Amino acid sequence: MSLAWHTHHDLSGANTLGLPCVAERFVAPATPAELAEVLVDAREAGWPVTVLGGGSNLILGDWLPGLVVRPALGDYRCEALDDQRVRVHVEAGMNWHELVMSLARRGLWGIENLALIPGQCGAAPIQNIGAYGVELADVLERVHLMHLADGREQVLEAADCGFGYRDSIFKRALDGRVVITRLELDLSTRAQPRLGYGDLANRVGPAPTALEVAEAVCALRQEKLPDPAVLANAGSFFKNPLVEADVARVLLERHPDMPHFSQPDGRVKLAAGWLIDQCGLKGSREGAFGVHDRQALVLVHHGGGDAEGLLGFAGSIAMRVAERFGVTLEREPRLVGITE
């Protein structure tokens, strides 16, 4: 069967914010060979290429010219390295949550705290996804990618990916230049639960399985976060801000109950959701967009809005926080098809 190409393809259902967007051309290659083929076609035609995954951490403009590529490579395999370590080779198009739960059922440890994060595996390194005290960078060994400009394949070691808090080389030097095709993760058969974040330890027994931890994380997330399939959102809209220690000290003198987390580099991480909540914005709404009534870090789309309206609403929230606390909030979702 030949690869199906689509023109003027509606992407409003392909981003979890539900923003209106149309791709001039759209294709979903299911193999590396198909991916290489469509990239050759795009280069020969001079089309700009946009790579789209699960659309869970993006703000899409209303029109994406050229070609939108959504890799549909969606499988994984496990390779035993020794009696405790397992290398997992996972294709970029696989659903991240399905991977987490499948590996947890197999008794493999390392990513169980990252359950129920929406999106595809290929997007996970871009954001260096993290939750409940665990980041992808903790287990990622290598990233396989293909350069859009010439189809060249490359393998990056994790150490070369520039991982930071919600950050990576894929958001900077390689932004818009590559498509991620496969990940290599190092997981363990040895129980190593990480339960120090939030209420997680109270949700499991004294010797939980990886699956029990993953299920507890799912329950916690479902209690706090809206399902994008029910109420459009992109999860956490703002990063938790990092401030210098002296800034945090002054803020704590004024707000002793302010959540704060000391970092290895001496800075202090603040809770963006708490800052927004303290401004009285939780549950607020302005037109098509609002702040979720249970988690102020999540902006929701009630329908009928567009990217311009969302960015305006987000900007007003950031301004309120800056005016009250002197802290700058940074947007987490990436802009695609939008010039700042």
Task: Report phi then psi at 145, rounded to 5.
Answer: -145, 170
**Residue position matching structure tokens 């703002």:** 238
Name the one residue in this structure whose structure tokens are 């990513």. Answer: 111
Catalytic pick among 34, 184, 215, 332: 332
**Max intra-chain CA distance, the chain:** 66
**Is 152 one of the catalytic residues?**
no
**CA-based nearest residue to 14, from 45, 67, 60:** 60
CA distance 233 to 237: 8
User: Does the annotation count 166 as an active-site position?
Assistant: yes
CA dist., res. 128 & res. 256, Å (int)? 31
Beta strands 49-51 and 67-69 are parallel
Burial class (CB in 10 A: 0-12, 13-18, 19+), 182: buried
The active-site residue, picked from 236, 284, 320, 334, is 236
Indicate the residue type of 180: I
Which of 25, 166, 182, 320 does the annotation list as catalytic? 166
**Does 177 qualify as catalytic in the annotation?**
no
Burial class (CB in 10 A: 0-12, 13-18, 19+), 8: exposed
Annotated catalytic sites, by residue? 166, 236, 332
